[in-house]
Amino acid sequence: MTITAQIQPTFEAWRSKARELLRHGVAPENVDWVDASQTASLLAEEPSCYQTTPNASVKVPADFLRLAANVCAHTDERRFDILYRLLHRLTIGGEKHLLSMPSDRDMHQCNAWARAVSRDIHKMHAFVRFRLVGLNESNGREQFVAWFEPEYRITRLAAPFFEKRFASMDWSILTPDACVSWDGEKLTFMPGMSRHDAPSADAHDDLWRTYYRSIFNPARLKVQAMQSEMPMKYWKNLPEATIIHDLIGSSEKRVCTMIATPERPVKPMPDNAYLRTLHQRRTKS
């Protein structure tokens, strides 16, 4: 018979449910995974439907747990199902070497999801932009807020990085599906918010754009290379992205001007003691 496993779409919820199912030896084809946040009515749980008595706890390699944490953060509906099948094969099924079989179908699928999620985490670490909103009068800590729109449910997975790096400031990162803030003591997670709750500009954005404009070399335009690393979906929250079009549009003219510039003659060596020693050594050797 089929068991309905209705869980909140988090790794923790999946893990505890999967552990329970596995201890009762439930086969993957008999489980119907349902995302509780996506269904309106709560389906009735069937607690007594297990046909066997529970086994002792099951052990899985740490690599699997790491993989599962990433897979659960994905949004594909089939993730819990396939992940459970993988877990079942790895343990009860006795396929111990499964994790080193990237060519296996289930592994291939889970690896692809995990890769997409870890790329999204990486991009979040890169593209979050904090904005200064104030100063905590009592302890002198600066307060920053950022708005970010990740593709997957990665706020929890991405947060520890910011904690390590920005421990001495107060900060919050708001996203549509979850928010996190740090006060110097602990990370606090809250439900998602809307972009209107976040500040839209920072006094330093202009200076940052100045830097971005100046470090760009118009003689080496490679727009595709830029876009493959910084896809346009992230642009709307990057202060520097507002000038990308102008930079691309004006680059040809800038290069033409460079090429048309008359070559500068070589100026004579100034009178400087240090320079003289360099040139003396040269003529000697």
Partner 1 sequence: MDLTRKLEILADAAKYDASCASSGAARKDSRDGKGIGSTGGMGICHSYTPDGRCVSLLKVLLTNACLYDCHYCINRRSSNVQRARFTPEEVVQLTLDFYKRNYIEGLFLSSGIVRSADHTMEQVIEVARQLREVHHFRGYIHLKTIPEASQALIDKAGRYADRISINIELPSQQSLDRLAPEKNLTNTKQAMHGIRQRIDESLEAKKAARQILNRPRVKAPAFATGQSTQMIVGADDSSDALVLHRADELYREVRLRRVYYSGFSPIPEPSVLLPIKPPPLVREHRLYQADWLLRFYGFDVGELLPKEEPNLDLDLDPKLAWALRNRAVFPVDINRASQELLWRIPGLGTVNVARILAARRWSRLTLADLQRMRVNLKKVMPFIVAADHRPRIALLESTHLRQHFLPGPRQLELNFNAPPPTTPADAAMALSGQL
For the segment 132-191, give every residue that binds partner 1 (CB under 8 A): 132, 142, 144, 146, 161, 163-169, 184
> Do the Cβ atoms of 251 and 223 come closer than 8 Å?
no
Using CB under 8 A as the binding rule, whether residue 202 contacts partner 1 is answered as: yes
What is the closest distance, in whole angstroms, from the C-beta atom of residue 157 to partner 1 in the complex? 15
Size of the site for partner 1 (CB under 8 A): 82
Q: Judged by CB under 8 A, which of 4, 30, 55, 257 binds partner 1?
A: 257
Q: Judged by CB under 8 A, which of 103, 138, 191, 284 binds partner 1?
A: 103
Distance CA 172, CA 133 (A): 11
Give the largest CA-CA distance in the chain: 95
Distance CA 270, CA 61 (A): 68
Q: Which is nearer to partner 1, 56 or 201 (CB)?
A: 201
What is the closest distance, in whole angstroms, from the C-beta atom of residue 12 to partner 1 in the complex? 24
What is the closest distance, in whole angstroms, from the C-beta atom of residue 167 to partner 1 in the complex? 5
Q: Judged by CB under 8 A, which of 1, 40, 44, 215 binds partner 1?
A: 215
What is the closest distance, in whole angstroms, from the C-beta atom of residue 219 to partner 1 in the complex? 4
Query: Residue 173's beta-bridge partner residues?
Result: 146, 180
DSSP 55: P
- For residues 78 to 97, the per-residue mask of contacts with partner 1, x marking binding by CB under 8 A and - elsewhere, is -------------------x
Q: Is 100 left (phi over 0), alpha (psi -120 to 50) or beta?
A: alpha
Q: Which is nearer to partner 1, 48 or 285 (CB)?
A: 285
How many residues are listed for the chain in this entry?
285
- Rounded to the nearest 10 degrees, what angle do helices 105-127 and 79-90 cross at? 120
Q: Which is nearer to partner 1, 44 or 266 (CB)?
A: 266
Using CB under 8 A as the binding rule, whether residue 281 contacts partner 1 is answered as: yes
Q: Judged by CB under 8 A, which of 66, 108, 233, 236 binds partner 1?
A: 108
Using CB under 8 A as the binding rule, whether residue 240 contacts partner 1 is answered as: yes
What is the closest distance, in whole angstroms, from the C-beta atom of residue 176 to partner 1 in the complex? 19
Ordered DSSP codes for 136-197 = -TTT--EEEEEE---SSS-HHHHHHHHHHHTTTSEEEEE-SSEEEEE-SS-EEEEE---GGG
Q: Judged by CB under 8 A, which of 227, 233, 236, 280 binds partner 1?
A: 227
Q: What are the φ and ψ backbone dihedral angles of 172, each rounded to 5 degrees?
A: -135, 140
